[in-house]
A and B are shown apart, each in its own frame.
Chain A
């Protein structure tokens, strides 16, 4: 089940971002698990607020990076799908 444009992703209870001064990265913390996020994932998850749709997230990134939404959408959806499989993002 891959994310559609109109799906609204959110972080489930117990999952949160933490900017980690010791490691110099942003981490995604979940029960018993911690993921190091790359800069792109940090940008995407920074826009995941339980209100924006996937389409809105892509549009916001497209504007910020001055790139066509089509070029970004696939990467965003792939990332969200991967995190959903790990159950750290839900729709």
Chain B
């Protein structure tokens, strides 16, 4: 561990998983497969303390997320608390009940921005993916309410085999709904998405077509709509800098108050997470073992250690390295330099060309999900 350590910059964002409860059952949900239940959730005062500490630590954006964050009855007071602490609040919502009913109170409380998920542009397709009839119609009504209140709207669509043909239609829908930004985010395979990978993995030619559609729309819609594109890892040459690098920009707080460098970090069994019950957020950011484990470049082995991209992608995603290479400290197999890259690419190809298995829908009881 001789690598030079620059002084630790304050975090930019806090992802507050206020609850894992959600009326939808998306098969790619980024929540862990072992969902936390309501009785273990932090209470209002604890979240308020966390937000105060976040502001003192230098956090700028708080992402009020879940599950469905509006499933918490105290979502408006929590939003107001963040606003008073000077934090920029972003609501990451499915838009289904009770989100619509609570929206005006959130706007009054000073909410800065809304990010609404869509499963597809076609209602039947969207409802099949979300695992709930009528969800899409509710989302459209919610989007209209957001813009009517004068709140800025971003739409987020996770792209996979079941909706990859809908990318152009999603772009058109985003314009129609008055969104300022659209995130076309190819599925990231951890949590539920890993369990459903064979049903989600798109074909390479469909991926190329969807990327071309985004690029054409960006030119056509410059000044109207910003489109952010997250390309699928398994088809890339280099991995993404997961969360902007481990312990560099973001903190994730789970419903029960454990603090993680990324929302999938609990899949790495050797990590020890500190809780907001026992430590301040600043202490956790600076000294907790889970944040220290893969921070910077000191933990790296070859080929990352001597690679000139090591401070661009920080070796990729630790959770993906564990899931695909069996070792959280390995090079992310999304990278062409990983020994596991070819095997993983072949796996993606095989899954994408096989018949699509049924979804294993998200649920609190793993056995009933199929």
Contact = CB atoms under 8 A, between A and B. Distances in A.
Interface stretch (B57-65, B118-126, B129-137, B302-310): B57-65
Contact of A27 (B60, B113, B150, B228): B60
Contacts of B88: 16, 18, 29
A22 B57 contact: yes
Interface residues of A, number: 15
Nearest to B86: A18
A13 interface: yes
A82 interface: no
Contacts, number: 47
B90 interface: yes
B152 A12 contact: yes
A43 interface: no
Interface string A66-91: 00000000000000000000010000
A16 B112 contact: yes
B61 A22 contact: no
A13 B61 CA distance: 15
B238 to A, nearest CB: 22
A31 B115 contact: yes
B52 to A, nearest CB: 13
Contacts of A14: 112-113, 151-152, 180
A13 B151 CA distance: 6
A19 to B, nearest CB: 9
Contacts of B150: 13
A22 B150 CA distance: 30
Contacts of A32: 61, 90, 154, 181, 228
A16 B151 CA distance: 13
A20 interface: yes
B10 interface: yes
Contacts of A1: 223
A23 B89 CA distance: 19
Nearest to A34: B60
Nearest to B56: A22
Interface string B15-50: 000000000000000000000000000000000000
A88 to B, nearest CB: 11
A31 B90 contact: yes
Interface string B75-113: 000000000001010100000000000000000000011
29 contacts: A12-B152, A13-B151, A13-B152, A14-B112, A14-B151, A14-B152, A14-B180, A16-B112, A18-B60, A18-B86, A18-B88, A22-B10, A22-B56, A22-B57, A22-B58, A23-B58, A29-B60, A29-B88, A31-B90, A31-B112, A31-B113, A31-B115, A31-B152, A31-B154, A32-B61, A32-B90, A32-B181, A32-B228, A87-B180
Given A14-B151, A16-B112, A27-B60, 13 more contacts: A13-B150, A13-B152, A14-B152, A16-B88, A18-B88, A20-B58, A22-B10, A31-B90, A31-B112, A32-B61, A32-B154, A32-B228, A34-B12
Closest 7 CB pairs of A and B: A14-B152, A22-B58, A31-B113, A29-B88, A14-B113, A13-B152, A34-B60
